[in-house]
Structure 1
Amino acid sequence: MLSGLIPTSFSRLQSLTRVDVSYNKLEGPIPDIKAFREAPFEAIRNNKNLCGNATGLEACAALMKNKIVHNKAPKVVIFTVIPLLGSLLGLIVGFFIFLQSRRNKRLMETPQSVRWCPDWELCYADIIEATEEFNSRYCIDGLQSCASIRTSPAVKKFHQTQRGSLRKVLNDEEQAVKMDWDKRLNLIKGVANALSYMHHDCSPPIIHRDISSNNVLLDSEYEAHVSDFGTARLLMPDSSNWTSFAGTFGYTAP
């Protein structure tokens, strides 16, 4: 099977009287000689794209024009679609920038008392870690949307203490038996956390002055919570003062 253009050297074969190039893949103009001009259509049919002055063939000028238009069509589509896609992408990016700017503006207008930190995701992650994934013992009245940080049980508000004070539990033989050594160790850690928070995390530091068994409250899980700040004092840095004795003998800090 032949393919491509018919060689121009055929134009010099003036004595050629008959040709048959049918059922090939020839294309382009046929040689301008009598054998091709007078060839029947069956002799040149079923080729790829022959043109010229012969029966059944399209004129080469018209064929080349159609070919140019056909070749231009994809370019026209490309040069039309690409700018449209670029404009659409620009609109999408601009829309997201607009939304982000509005969000940042709302954050800037948020009162300082509730804007815990500039990165809300980081704050949320810190809260999740600090509350052990919103464990109920760090939540006020069991509402997990109102959690207190595990390092600050001293400032947590309770409407009911459930098991009452540590003194009450220890004086109840049945409840005292339930307080095994693991619970007692956990209780000590809870009180230590509360004191550490008051002394080192509060500004100014808080001196409770009466950490007695009466002022350590237990919840249903035997978690300790410091209460009764009636005798507490704020410790101002670089200050010295005298105060009268307050609290319970044997439980006052030195």
Structure 2
Amino acid sequence: MFTIWTYDGKMVYENIIDAIEEFDPKYCIGVGGYGSVYKAELPTGQVIAVKKLHPLEDEGITNLDSFENEIRALTKIRHCNIVRLYGFCSHSRHSFLAYEFLDGGSLGKKLSNKEEATEFGWIKRINIVKGAAEGLSYMHHDCSPPIVHRDISCKNILLDIEHNAHISDFGTAKVLKPDSSNWSHHLHVD
């Protein structure tokens, strides 16, 4: 039921569902195109982010492509500037992903708040750009096969309490396969 985490999956699943009271809206901290994100404090005191995927309106099933893309990408990579996936649940009742919780929120929220954006100096902004670039560079050059995010925006850059950047939301990511039509060893300029 709950995979990847180093604990008993059934117990973790129940702890998550209990912590957010069956996805009660009062625990919702964000809504995106593919799902809603909830803040869950587990009995151990650990705080995690839980992304529950939206069901498709026409068929009543979860958007499995996005779900599988995110799992495929995040199980292949470990980098300090990429959000960490703890586990996932694929069940007819609930399909969700469990991530590390980052206290700083998204860069988009930070910059859209005039007061916070004013206090958010250039040194912090440069460090965030550098962190995001390091995460992307890792995905493009140090992963085998390389991973392309395909949805980098300020809403998908999460910040920890020290304003370090963490790339998130890998629902549209693509794992490049050598010898396929999306792979090129050389850049040709005409």
Larger radius of gyration: 1
Q: TM-score range by the shorter chain?
A: 0.3 to 0.5
More helix by share: 1
- Give 1 or 2: higher strand fraction: 2
TM-score normalised by length of structure 1: 0.35
